[in-house]
Amino acid sequence: MAEEFFIQGNEACAKGAIAAGCRFFAGYPITPSTEIAETLARELPKVGGSFVQMEDEIASAGAIIGGSWGGAKSMTATSGPGISLMQENIGYAFMSETPIVIVDVQRGSPSTAQPTMAAQGDMMQARWGSHGDYEPIALSPSSVQEFFDFTIKAFNLAEEYRVPVFVMADEVIGHMREKIVVEEDIEIVARKRPEKSDNYLPFENIENGTTPMPAFGDGFNIHVTGLTHDERGYPDTNNPETHDKLIQRICDKVLNNKDKICSVKTKDCEDADVVVVSYGGPVRSVVEAVAKARADGKKVGYAKIDTPWPFPDEQIKEACANAKDVIVVEMNLGQMYYEVDRVCKRDANVHLMGKIGGLLPTPDEILEQIDRIGGN
């Protein structure tokens, strides 16, 4: 039977992680994500999992990579200052194709800025934070229910594609309490394990790009490295072809499945002159503002991005196809705005409504912007 809870976003995230099969958490608790670590420290041992409080975020990211290769679904949770420190190991996880989940409950930034206030300043860091070419997957929840659902989805995508997956939440969603419904049947993706054979290749260039992954102790001879490696996993750093093949595969396994990964929810976009694009916490204000504008007879719609990365080009193009103006509402001074502008600029004027300081934009502030730009 489905169960109902009235809990915080961060608690819902922890609950989702356990439901998804997470059995290892390593982290360095930081506001406003602390309740995730707190809840998992209490709950993971009850289901046979492990919780380790690490000495810092660099070690936290390293530990969950190890946990994942040890065969456990693994996660960490942090905020801006921590995600900065994790970047080196995040790159290692992409190169070694290690499924991990990184939850970032975003706060005022840069540096330590505003620990208890909301922001969305880490969106580009999720995309480009580590050096080199790779294709991350990121999800942004707009409700406590979605923080639960998207954490499960993050684990499923990580396992399906052997990639690090980010859950890019914000302080608003992390700390507010709402009702969530936990269904009895939850779809869980199990890790694909390899078959033993004489010519086993742990990084084989197979057609869909995602090679089955053994765990340490399963009896396979594997070498895991951040260096450019061949299909056996051995370093082969001076061969342009090896590098090209490896990195193309790592990118393509995500890009070739964008239609399955990307998710955008739209409302009233078909005849809209103005489309408001948003993700995460600000969606809550956008939905209310657009409903009010419609009630006043204005041709306004909205598009809610569930998956900022890989950026849902096609869905956003379609949502904004008939709009003269597009407004991107986000809690930074312009990050996802540039992506929306890139896909829409030939057909619509794309405007940024960026709000920093820590508070959600209000529906009235968004309505003012809609009125100023058009939609009358």
| 345 in contact with another protein (CB under 8 A) | no
Site for another protein (CB under 8 A): which residue of 109, 285, 315, 332? 285
The smaller minimum CB distance to another protein, of residues 158 and 264, is found at: 264
Task: Identify the three-state secondary structure at position 199.
Answer: coil
Mark residues 152-191: x for contact with another protein by CB under 8 A, - for none.
-------------------xx--xxxxx------------
Amino acid at position 87, single letter:
Q
Q: Is 291 in the site for another protein (CB under 8 A)?
A: yes
Please tell me whether residue 138 adopts helix, strand or coil conformation: strand
Minimum distance from residue 141 beta carbon to another protein (Å): 13
Among 10, 28, 31, 49, binds another protein (CB under 8 A): 31
Beta strand 100-108 with 114-118: parallel, antiparallel or unpaired?
Answer: antiparallel
C-beta closer to another protein: residue 205 or 362? 362
- For residue 114, the 8-state DSSP code is E
Q: Which of 284, 299, 351, 355 binds another protein (CB under 8 A)?
A: 284
320 touches another protein (CB under 8 A): no
- Rounded to 5°, angle at Cα 212 from 208 and 214: 165
Of 30, 34, 285, residue with least CA distance to 142: 285
Residue 68 Cβ vs another protein, minimum distance, rounded to whole Å: 32
Residues 117-136 that bind another protein (CB under 8 A): 117
Cβ(339)–Cβ(138) under 8 Å? no
Residues 6+ apart with CB under 8 A from 221: none
**Range in contact with another protein (rule: CB under 8 A) among 114-122, 201-209, 316-324, 329-337:** 114-122
Contact between 360 and another protein per CB under 8 A:
yes
Output the six-digit token pair for 96. 């070694």
| Cβ-based neighbours of 211, under 8 Å, separated by 6 or more | 97, 162, 194, 201, 202, 203, 204
Contact footprint for another protein (CB under 8 A): 4-6, 31-32, 115-117, 171-172, 175-179, 284-285, 287-288, 291, 360, 362-363
